[in-house]
Structure 1
Amino acid sequence: MEKNEYEEQEEATHVEDPALVPELTQDPNDPLNWTRSEKYLTCLTVCFFTFLSTFNSSNLVVAVVETSDEFRVTPTRAGYIVCFNLLLMGIGNLLWVPLSRVIGKRPVYLLALLLFTGCNIWTYEASTYGNLLASRIISGLAAAAADGTVPSLIADLFFIDERGHCMMIFHFALSTGFFVGPLMCAYITQEAGRRWTSGLLAIASGSTFLIGVFTIRESNYRRDTASAALPHSAYTPRSFLCWIMLTRGFRRDVSFFETVCTTLLLAAYPPILWTGLLVRTFVGWNIVVQMTASRVFLAPPYSWEVGQVGLLALAGFIGAVIAFFAGGKLVDLLSARMTKANGGVREPEFRLPALIIPAVIGPMGVLVFGTCSARRLLWVGAAFWYAMKGFGLTARSNIVVTYAVDSYQHVAGEALVIVFVVRNIIATVLALYTVDWQEATGVENLGLSEDIHFTVDSWIIKDPFVELRRRSTPGNSALEKHVLLSQHSILCGFFLFHLNIRMQSAGQQLITQWYDVQQLAFLYNLVKVQTHKNLSWPDMEAFIKIHGESHIFIGSRPKNAGKSLNRLELDTGIFFAARFARDSRNREGFHRPDGKNPRVLTPTTTVSTMFRAQYVAGFEAGDGMGNIDKILSKLSQEPRPSFTSKELQPSNPQQMFHTRNIGTLQPLALLKSRLAAEEPLILFNYFGMHKRAIELLRLIKAKEHHKFVQYCTAEYVRDESLI
């Protein structure tokens, strides 16, 4: 039988290649000898299933709030539908990869597609939380079939010099599911409800099953029994009907349990664990960033709709598109060039130098995305660094996974099982505790944590380039670990300085957040001791108990407003007063009451002094803010002021003091503006405490509402976002 044109080109190209891995046979049934269309039809169909599997993992991320309302469960419990889906998507590799070794890859993919379709129909029809959670868990198990088995499939189909590019197709499918999936889910949820995201997945996976029956070919091949010396005529090509049989890849000599044991033993190999720890950032930080974006951009000041939040994921997709070449074909070219310089001997470590750029850009993207989100900067900044994160994490994951496949080609599937199990377990933990983490340390510190982790992991714990140097150094002498740093003091100093700055920055953020809570503790105590003695705030009481009253309040609890303000200023300082004073320099005094020895507020007047009675127009000494009921009663009997309610709460509160004598409500407005100035930190770092602080202000409003109406008109607080 004559060879087709493709086989002749393959023979001419590869037989003379001294670095060819694996060795080419003349068997037309060898997957390496399939036509390019047959290879890519199989690969692309499976990679589309991979896209659907990651789409499925982020299916209900944007609908957690809607799911919580529908089934009347807490947002944390609603988040389980995402977390445990991810967990089973990782652990499921322990089932599918050994099974694919025994019965073949084709039946595994078709069986998993049927199960995946059924589970999404189940999710669509689920009417109870238990049903929904069960369907999501099993759909994660089905999705795992398109995860750990794919690198092994690519190793079956392509030569080592093509593998980086083809593995990038796989990782591009993973990335597209994580980035485009939330966009589609957001608009579907917004327009048709969360059920139709699962309906769309069921339709797509069912169609993929029908197509896969004809396009997914069995790639399991007994290369150990094949001989490169046999001529092409010694083999009989299989018919199309033979290729679509489900028993073609079955092997009686392979044990399922032995394969599982082999897989678990591979966990002891440091390169496998190292790959798993790096790849874990790909899924874990994608989920974290998506959950962060949902919380940040749906809230003020952005106030986006769900669909707009989904559009933000396009930035990550653009980054993944850029990584398609930088993390795929470029890595193949770099590896080929180093192979040529090495006398035609190819080593897996030749792919590692390509890690440098994406390994820096990826964590930097997470860090700056968190900073932009926490500080409520223009959305373009967050979107740009979202794209950089998408580029860095996608390219980095592909490089290290391809390195692992090249290193352990004969057990590529089993090796990648450990990688993906580690990846998804850590991603599950991140998804479970992201909300609590954000409330405890802030959105900005999520990026700081990743940046610190990368610095320590890359330059202190391990030295990924030591093996590459060993192969390029004459002789077999042992090389010193971290020789790059030990021989270059400036480089070593640079990385130590980088790590120190990151840790200092994280410490400064924690200090800032401590002051946020401490100021809320003073506000809580002030309301409790004066007007609501039975008020209970367990979280704040626990905070005070843990750190001690004397530490929080600089002594015993203050019993009135004057002591509270003096203590708070003594401990933390209130920068708003300094800005208030600075902006008023060289201007006329704010208040000159009638009578002897008038008091004037000057640029150096402290906050505690400003709140004392002699600086409040029209009231006796000792009143101050200590008796808000009495003050408001007097104010309610006075003529209504000429300014409107909007003027009471201007964006620049200092201007109010230029136009009118200071009344007792002005310090209240000052307090609200102080809270507004801290809102970005309080809202995202201690969301629950901020919510409780607003409730405390509402208590004051409810108690004194009629007096506020008499003094300031009925619209004195038109928009609660000003609080």
Structure 2
Amino acid sequence: MDVPIPGTVHLVDVLGTSHLRHEQGEKDIILVPQPTDDPNDPLNWSPRRRLNSSIWQMVWALSGAAIINALPPAYLLIQEETGIAIGDLNTGNALMYLFFGFGTLLSQPFALNFGRRPTAVFSLGITSFLVLWASYMKTTGEWYANRILTGIFFSTIESLIELCVADTKFSHERGFHMGFYTWALFGGAFLAPIPAGFLADAAGWRWINKMYCIIGVATTVAIYFGFEETMFYRHNVVDEFLDERADDTLAPVETVEPALVSEGKEAISDTSPSSDSEAAQSYAVHGYAHRLKLWGHRDPRQPNTFLKFFFIPFYLMRYPSIVFSGLLVGCQLAWYNVLLGTITSVFGEAPYNFSSNMIGLTYLACFIGTSIGCLLAGWLNDRIATWVARKNNGIKEPEARLWVAIIPMIIHPAGCILFGVGGAHHIHWVGVCFGIIMVTTGIVMGATLALSYAVDCYKEIAGEAIITVIIIRNIIGFAFGYAVVPMVDSLGLQNTFILIAFLGVALTSLCFVMIAFGKGMRKSTAVSYWKLVEEHGFQAH
């Protein structure tokens, strides 16, 4: 048998002959991964419970992104009172994003080995008090130290929810929920400055972080009671079933977990129970009191990869699909840092001369763009990927998601020109805000596509792959965050955004290179990949 190609799955049952479990709403969609017979498996939760889990995950992401990104509208006030230059404030945020990347080398193995829930509670609680500390800063050194520690302790914002999505969602629905997560992440960052601007004008900039600390602590308490543990151990099983009409050159595709045949019995099992009743008696449904525990959710069969984890993300940089995802999402963070680093200076100076509260309101344009981008890169992404799979004899390739890149390839450069060139030539502020909407739509779409693609390509190591992506992303983001003010000073607003427009087109066009050659690249890594999965006992997502 040929070695299965990582990421290639049998998603659509074209002939209706598959014995694997199917989606209830769309009868021809095969569930990937296959749920186990354990009622505590998140894939077996009721639709209402799964939705509730997703909502709390997004509440955590939105509130966390909000409390650490509320200060930009008050940068001019901070500079006047403390003497910390706007360039240094941007550098501090760049340091925070850099340590978001490297901090995941600690936070992600904690989440993978001890649970998503304690990671969420502790990281948001500690970050809330770091936000409070920032309200008392007086020097550049304090600002840098605060941003570095925030990056380390809240690095979970970059990777935890992707892990939860992989835990609780099937392959054909992950795009929508990844888009939902991206909406919460960017939405929190873009919504937070709006009330912050008014608060700075009314009570001073220091009250921004004091108020957001209160919000952070309140959310921490709330998620303790609402954020449910999604960690669940499942085995890897290669399914050799292929649609009989599929091309003979296709490699056997993969699904995971002991699959339940149509009669309800186990096809593969470690315990091989003699009857369905015996299998059912071996599981106890966990009650609400058990779910409130911060510890004890780890399956004893689950291998401990905490120490090995530090090296695996760097090892994964040999996989082209993961490096591509890191480059794509890294460039989106770069454009995000440049945009946020220039909004205040564009609207705070002549001819606009916006006050802090009015600058804060301009972030509504960012939020609108975020919402549009998440809808297009989420729901539309899933629908196109499923449609392409139906046309491909039911076989889904991760590259099918990348066709949506046509939209950001057009809208991103157009937005850059409207914001950068328009702002430099002092067009009406409404036109500049339309440019912001277009830029953020492209940013969010690019980030969502990259993260979904990385998870789809190597789903057994989704948690580790995300860290590799985030490290690459945040190194790029740090470079642009550090250089944004000198770059604008040197090139000017207009030329800076013309440069970003061309860079955006060039990087997004790599999506079409991956559509053409991505499967071949994944095939070339198959032997080393499955060896890695076997050696470390990674579980499927």
User: Which residue of structure 2 aligns with residue 249 of structure 1?
Assistant: 297
Which letter does structure 2 place at the counterpart of 1:135? N
- Alpha-carbon distance change, 12 to 186 in structure 1, aligned in 2, over 3 angstroms: closer
Which letter does structure 2 place at the counterpart of 1:296? V
- Alpha-carbon distance change, 184 to 90 in structure 1, aligned in 2, over 3 angstroms: farther
1:55 to partner: Cα distance: 2.5
User: Which residue of structure 2 aligns with residue 82 of structure 1?
Assistant: 93
User: Which residue of structure 2 aligns with residue 443 of structure 1?
Assistant: 493
- Checking the alignment, whether the CA contact within 8 Å between 1:101 and 1:251 is kept in structure 2 is no
| Cα separation, 2, equivalents of 1:182 and 1:423 | 24
Give runs of aligned pairs for residues 264-275 of structure 1, distance below 5 A.
Answer: 264-275=314-325
Give runs of aligned pairs for residues 308-347 of structure 1, distance below 5 A.
Answer: 308-347=358-397
User: Which residue of structure 2 aligns with residue 48 of structure 1?
Assistant: 59
1:163 to partner: Cα distance: 0.7
User: Which residue of structure 1 aligns with residue 82 of structure 2?
Assistant: 71
Does residue 239 (structure 1) correspond to residue 250 (structure 2)? The answer is no
Scaled by the length of structure 1, what TM-score is found?
0.60
- Checking the alignment, whether the CA contact within 8 Å between 2:137 and 2:143 is kept in structure 1 is yes
User: Which residue of structure 1 aligns with residue 451 of structure 2?
Assistant: 401
User: Which residue of structure 1 aligns with residue 230 of structure 2?
Assistant: 219
User: Which residue of structure 2 aligns with residue 159 of structure 1?
Assistant: 170
| Cα separation, 2, equivalents of 1:322 and 1:33 | 31
DSSP 3-state at the match of 1:220? coil
| Cα separation, 2, equivalents of 1:416 and 1:375 | 40
Deviations 1:370-414 (A, max 9, x none): 100111111121111111112121122112211111111111121
Deviations 1:561-613 (A, max 9, x none): xxxxxxxxxxxxxxxxxxxxxxxxxxxxxxxxxxxxxxxxxxxxxxxxxxxxx
User: Which residue of structure 2 aligns with residue 303 of structure 1?
Assistant: 353
Mean Cα deviation higher: 194-203 or 148-157: 194-203
1:130 to partner: Cα distance: 3.8
1:74 to partner: Cα distance: 3.7
- Alpha-carbon distance change, 468 to 194 in structure 1, aligned in 2, over 3 angstroms: same
| Cα separation, 1, equivalents of 2:430 and 2:174 | 35
User: Which residue of structure 2 aligns with residue 133 of structure 1?
Assistant: 144
- Alpha-carbon distance change, 319 to 221 in structure 1, aligned in 2, over 3 angstroms: same
Deviations 1:685-716 (A, max 9, x none): xxxxxxxxxxxxxxxxxxxxxxxxxxxxxxxx
| Cα separation, 2, equivalents of 1:166 and 1:64 | 34
**Match 1:203 to one of 207, 211, 214:** 214
- Alpha-carbon distance change, 459 to 358 in structure 1, aligned in 2, over 3 angstroms: closer
DSSP 3-state at the match of 2:154? helix
User: Which residue of structure 2 aligns with residue 368 of structure 1?
Assistant: 418
Deviations 1:66-110 (A, max 9, x none): 223333344433433322222222222221111111111111111
1:418 to partner: Cα distance: 1.8
Deviations 1:177-227 (A, max 9, x none): 232122232222222222222122211221111111121222111111864
Which letter does structure 2 place at the counterpart of 1:255? T
User: Which residue of structure 2 aligns with residue 685 of structure 1?
Assistant: none
Deviations 1:453-506 (A, max 9, x none): 2344455898122137879xxxx9xxxxxxxxxxxxxxxxxxxxxxxxxxxxxx
1:169 to partner: Cα distance: 0.7
- Checking the alignment, whether the CA contact within 8 Å between 1:57 and 1:85 is kept in structure 2 is no
| Cα separation, 1, equivalents of 2:385 and 2:516 | 17
Unpaired segments of 5 or more residues in structure 2?
A: 1-20, 237-256, 260-265, 267-272, 525-541
DSSP 3-state at the match of 1:273? helix
Unpaired segments of 5 or more residues in structure 1?
A: 1-9, 477-723
Mean Cα deviation higher: 81-90 or 257-266: 81-90
Deviations 1:485-529 (A, max 9, x none): xxxxxxxxxxxxxxxxxxxxxxxxxxxxxxxxxxxxxxxxxxxxx
1:295 to partner: Cα distance: 0.9
1:303 to partner: Cα distance: 1.2
DSSP 3-state at the match of 2:135? helix
Root mean square deviation, CA, Å? 2.6
1:16 to partner: Cα distance: 6.0
- Alpha-carbon distance change, 124 to 73 in structure 1, aligned in 2, over 3 angstroms: closer
| Cα separation, 1, equivalents of 2:423 and 2:502 | 19
| Cα separation, 2, equivalents of 1:387 and 1:45 | 27
1:424 to partner: Cα distance: 2.2
| Cα separation, 2, equivalents of 1:191 and 1:136 | 25
User: Which residue of structure 1 aligns with residue 466 of structure 2?
Assistant: 416
1:129 to partner: Cα distance: 4.7
DSSP 3-state at the match of 1:463? helix
| Cα separation, 1, equivalents of 2:217 and 2:62 | 14
Which letter does structure 2 place at the counterpart of 1:346? K
User: Which residue of structure 2 aligns with residue 467 of structure 1?
Assistant: 517
| Cα separation, 1, equivalents of 2:134 and 2:174 | 36
- Checking the alignment, whether the CA contact within 8 Å between 1:96 and 1:145 is kept in structure 2 is yes
Does residue 145 (structure 1) correspond to residue 156 (structure 2)? The answer is yes
- Checking the alignment, whether the CA contact within 8 Å between 1:183 and 1:314 is kept in structure 2 is yes
- Checking the alignment, whether the CA contact within 8 Å between 1:266 and 1:272 is kept in structure 2 is yes
Scaled by the length of structure 2, what TM-score is found?
0.80
DSSP 3-state at the match of 1:92? helix
| Cα separation, 1, equivalents of 2:284 and 2:89 | 56
The share of aligned pairs that are identical, in percent, is 27
Does residue 107 (structure 1) correspond to residue 118 (structure 2)? The answer is yes
Give runs of aligned pairs for residues 452-531 of structure 1, distance below 5 A.
Answer: 452-459=502-509, 463-467=513-517
DSSP 3-state at the match of 2:34? coil
| Cα separation, 1, equivalents of 2:114 and 2:473 | 26
- Checking the alignment, whether the CA contact within 8 Å between 1:85 and 1:140 is kept in structure 2 is yes
| Cα separation, 1, equivalents of 2:203 and 2:354 | 18
Deviations 1:286-333 (A, max 9, x none): 221122121121111111112112211211211222223211111111
User: Which residue of structure 2 aligns with residue 575 of structure 1?
Assistant: none
Does residue 351 (structure 1) correspond to residue 401 (structure 2)? The answer is yes
Deviations 1:99-155 (A, max 9, x none): 111111111111112211221222234455544432332222222212212111101
User: Which residue of structure 1 aligns with residue 263 of structure 2?
Assistant: none
- Checking the alignment, whether the CA contact within 8 Å between 1:57 and 1:140 is kept in structure 2 is no
- Checking the alignment, whether the CA contact within 8 Å between 2:64 and 2:216 is kept in structure 1 is no
- Checking the alignment, whether the CA contact within 8 Å between 1:49 and 1:205 is kept in structure 2 is no
| Cα separation, 1, equivalents of 2:518 and 2:92 | 43
Larger relative contact order (Cα-Cα within 8 Å, sequence gap ≥ 6): 2
Give runs of aligned pairs for residues 593-672 of structure 1, distance below 5 A.
Answer: none
DSSP 3-state at the match of 1:303? coil
- Checking the alignment, whether the CA contact within 8 Å between 2:330 and 2:476 is kept in structure 1 is yes
1:32 to partner: Cα distance: 0.5
- Checking the alignment, whether the CA contact within 8 Å between 1:94 and 1:260 is kept in structure 2 is yes
- Alpha-carbon distance change, 222 to 182 in structure 1, aligned in 2, over 3 angstroms: same
DSSP 3-state at the match of 2:513? coil
